[in-house]
Amino acid sequence: MHYETKSILDKIKGSIILATEEGEQEYVNIDAIPENLLDAEMIVSAIEARDSKIVLYLKKNEIVKNDLNSDWVKEEVGRTGVEPGFF
């Protein structure tokens, strides 16, 4: 789960509605939410209140993680002797 998503969900008491590309689904509490909706691939794009319930709009995280096993990384390590820094 993306850190910000978890920190938001931990504060919600009671029912919650999650809206994704597939539609909206209401859950009794955060423990009832399927893990695949809470993985690192999903981020909160918007939040609203509707009928005394919190609605979180989730979308796929578009940031592509760096693959440290990719060819360019191996070439860089071979050339410089150190792994590239990403900061």
The answer as to whether 12 is a domain residue is: yes
Banded pLDDT at 7 (limits 50, 70, 90): confident
What are the Cα distances from residue 60, in Å, to 44, 57, 80, 84? 9, 10, 35, 27
Domain presence at residue 40: yes
33-73 pLDDT per residue, tens: 888 887 778 888 899 999 989 999 999 888 777 777 888 88
- Residue-number span of the structural domain to which 56 is assigned: 3-62
The pTM score is 0.65
Number of domains composing the chain: 1
Distance CA 65, CA 68 (A): 9
Q: What's the confidence (pLDDT) of residue 2? A: 55
Query: Strand pairing of 42-50 and 16-20?
Result: unpaired
